[in-house]
Structure 1
């Protein structure tokens, strides 16, 4: 969604992921009849060595990087959080063989740590974007989730905790950057339910997912899941508003109004 929003408005967009075939499908499918470009690069952004290689590759191609979007995210095990006794809650959340430190580590590595390492790796290219563009400042957009804002665990506490960490990391990184005299904005978008392989469980041949509208009638004030236009508007606003820094833009169809923060 973010890729299309930027490329359709004339940007040269490099997309990164571990599966070359999926990246090429996106580039070939969505590069048609648009003013921008979509260029695939294979990289595991949970690996510091590969991030360093990605930076070198990008620096050899481009003089600067205007926008960095950290969009990688995973969820894993789910747990029954409802219980009538302390013993039952312990059984569900501690004794359960799926409740492991490794599970939490995997989720945090992808959802939180990579945002830190990708952002800090690309600081020089982002600062050059600020220096080379009058009235512009290089920007980082971390994609978090409303799961990091609501008060419930939604049966995946490790995921919700990681998304809350991403939101705080965004503000913390924005502060550290400005404290060092650099002009690079860092914000986060917290989406509600949008179609993706995570939420829909699958994607089509063109790497698009679908969630039936009727599944959300009565569950969200908007009575539907988010769509490409909703996310495109959020991405373009967050990228282009140079007065926005250290903030979280929630795009959830009113879900948090019902769920509570």
Structure 2
């Protein structure tokens, strides 16, 4: 709750003749002015003298969330320390869990948080990959990286993961649902006739319900079950820090925003579903008056095993810049810093809720979205 007390300056209007009567109006009474009007004018003059040099006052107030807010029109009153980067994007001592944190964009998120003092748990199916990340990127950081093997497409595994985090930490500040897959089956959508389109998009054996189910299970369903399972731990983080601290960040894609299928309609549809799921979860949580924020990041083209096809010994991937020079207004694919700064923004901005943050170098602009 912000309380603002402002002392208004009241001054007498300049004396000027009335264009109708020729009498003066303003603080100087006319001959027909009543005694009450004269007294009111005198009170106004006293108020003007008393407050003519006053400034806007500032009151600090604690809202129901426990956060202290400031409101002031006087820049001298503001605390400049609050505007420093380490205050605006502070994740020191935060506890985070990142699914798919062992490579690609998930690894970028892992480094962004751990390098700035957070305790980051990364989970995935391949323990060796997670161990490599923890060993390689735990050097010269103020936080820590802790690997946990888990299959987050299973409710039982998700519950075990929850129990482990509850036992170790007792709360969770940041949940990043980053794990995702893309089908290796591309769909030809171009056709000259209705019959050809049916043949390409329906008759072909590689188009199956199972393929769609597998993609939705990882890209959509796990986001729902991970988010809903961890609500109690995220709520405890909010209680611990007295604000909208507990946050869920789902990772979707610009593929869920563009109008084309890009030859993988099952993937694009799943990412669009993830975006809408984010908004629904944010609404349902808010309706129950639980103070947890839910947002989604929609990356454009970034180096990952999905876009590059593989990763090196350090679990990093690379994409040739020239491949996207003419496709993206930024004339390059995204890099680690682009994605890291986005995550820090989503994790720390406590006024951000139910939103999709698109980071694509202008790709969707060029695509005519």
TM-score bin (small chain): over 0.9
Unaligned runs of 5+ in 1: none
SS, match of residue 281 in structure 2: helix
Q: Which whole-Å CA distance do the structure 1 matches of 2:368 and 2:295 have between them?
A: 22
- 1:117 alignment partner in structure 2: 225
SS, match of residue 176 in structure 1: helix
- 1:252 alignment partner in structure 2: 360
Q: Deviations over 1:181-217 (max 9, x none)?
A: 1000000000001000000000001111000111111
- 1:69 alignment partner in structure 2: 176
Q: Which whole-Å CA distance do the structure 1 matches of 2:295 and 2:345 have between them?
A: 11
Unaligned runs of 5+ in 2: 1-107
Q: How many pairs are equivalent?
A: 261
Q: Which whole-Å CA distance do the structure 2 matches of 1:81 and 1:13 have between them?
A: 41
Q: Does 1:37 align with 2:144?
A: yes
8 Å contact from structure 2 (residues 172, 237) kept in 1: yes
SS, match of residue 203 in structure 1: coil
Structure of larger gyration radius: 2
Q: Does 1:25 align with 2:132?
A: yes
Report which structure shows greater RCO (CA 8 Å, sep ≥6): 1
8 Å contact from structure 2 (residues 297, 356) kept in 1: yes
SS, match of residue 21 in structure 1: helix
Q: CA deviation at 1:136?
A: 4.2
8 Å contact from structure 2 (residues 282, 353) kept in 1: yes
Residues 136 and 183 of structure 1: CA distance in aligned 2, closer, same or farther (over 3 Å): closer
TM-score calculated relative to the size of structure 2: 0.70
- 1:3 alignment partner in structure 2: 110
Q: Which moved more, 1:129-138 or 1:61-70?
A: 129-138
TM-score calculated relative to the size of structure 1: 0.99
- The 5 A counterparts of 1:1-261 are 1-76=108-183, 77-261=185-369
SS, match of residue 132 in structure 1: helix
Structure with more of its chain in helix, by fraction? 1
